[in-house]
Amino acid sequence: MATKKKTEAKSEKATPATVGRQELSRRVAQKTKLSQKQVGEVLEATIDTVREVLQDGDEVRLVGFGSFRVRTSAARRGVNPRDRQPIDVPAKERVRFSPGKELSEAVIKK
């Protein structure tokens, strides 16, 4: 009986929801009084533009939100988890996001 109560208590905790493009554009449309179609087009254009800027090697900085930039990770020695043999992991470019101060504070105060 005690195990069942522990399981029920764990399941009562809310798991965070994932908000996709459609839900994001719906929420922005509600706030801006624009149509969801218009917001969707602006969102797509924004994402495309951020992608293009990063491909050009530049940084996207949104004051109060955060910064996106491309960083090169160093080559390193890794271990194959399947057979525990050492492998060489090559250097590669990765997109990094650094949250801004206001975003960080807003999330922490939750």
Say if pTM beats, i.e. exceeds, 0.75: no
Q: Are residues 64 and 50 located together in one domain of the fold?
A: no
Question: Contact 67/61 with Cβ under 8 angstroms?
Answer: yes
Boundary (domain end) residue, out of 13, 38, 57: 57
Residue pLDDT, tens place only, 20-69:
999 999 999 999 999 999 999 999 999 999 999 999 999 999 999 999 99
Q: Average pLDDT, stretch 87-98? A: 96
Chain position carrying tokens 């801004």: 100
Distances in Å between the Cα of 88 and the Cα atoms of 6, 20, 75, 79, 92 are 44, 35, 7, 8, 12
Q: Which domain range does residue 102 map to?
A: 59-110
